[in-house]
Amino acid sequence: MKYVIEPKIVTFKFDLSLERERVSRYLKTGGQSGIKKYVDRGLELGNQLVESKATYSIGENNQSIIDKYNLPKPLHKPEYLAFGISTIGIALEEKVEELMKKGNYALSNILDSVGSAAVNETADRLGEEVLGYSRDNDLNNTRAFSPGSGSSHWRIKNQQLIFDSLNPSEIGVRLSSSFTMIPRKSSSFVIGLGREVQQANDLFSCEGCTREDCPYRDTPSRAAV
């Protein structure tokens, strides 16, 4: 692949206490009352444990990539492909497991939800890095496509394309034999960039996924197509 931006690493700092609304989307506590103190503690622990890192690159698109990795149709037309991987590291995941083993299920559950919110925030910020390049070069962008997600129907084995286009080991992320990411609180995407691309309204959206009962579903009112 011919890069226009070689793989680079970025780090982000943010205050998870501002992510309370996003965290609530992931809670698995069944709406129990009296969990505020656990949410507060989970956000506090999250700020201590999250290490938000990402890597991205932008390269020229070509027919060989389209065919080999069966790219989703909206990624056929773009002149460029942006690849991204983001993670919050392993520390929060290990703490969740420790709390679970100790029987502290409420805090473990909430801390796991904090981690989900944190990795999504990291992906959002990484997406903004990509969109900065797009805007500076008068390009439009597709929405983000992630292998294995229900909204893209793109097989998870195609994670290999993203990993081969970056240096994920430098941010501590690797693929398992089943193409899932380790640490678990990691995410990946491909975004198409080009002058003839229909501009997406929302970079990250679950629009098109058939799992309408999914608690993590996010379909903004003007979702990308």
Tell me if the pTM is above 0.85. Answer: yes
| Element spanning 218, H or E | none
Which tokens in the block code for residue 106?
């409420």
Give the pLDDT of the chain (225 residues) as one tens digit per residue: 899 999 999 999 999 988 888 887 777 655 555 688 889 999 999 999 999 999 999 999 999 999 999 999 999 999 999 999 999 999 999 999 999 999 999 999 999 999 999 999 999 999 999 999 999 999 999 999 999 986 567 999 999 999 999 999 999 999 999 999 999 999 999 999 999 999 998 998 655 444 455 544 454 443 333
CB of 168 within 8 A of CB of 222? no
Q: What is the pLDDT of residue 28?
A: 60
Q: Structure tokens of 9? A: 């690493």
Question: Which tokens hold the place of 61?
Answer: 């698109």
Q: Considering the domain 3-194 in this protein, what is its CATH number?
A: 3.40.109.40
Q: How many angstroms separate the CA atoms of 125 and 204, rounded?
A: 11
Q: What is the pLDDT of residue 178?
A: 96
Dihedral sign (CA 140, 146, 151, 154): positive
Distance CA 54, CA 14 (A): 14
Per-residue pLDDT, 218: 53
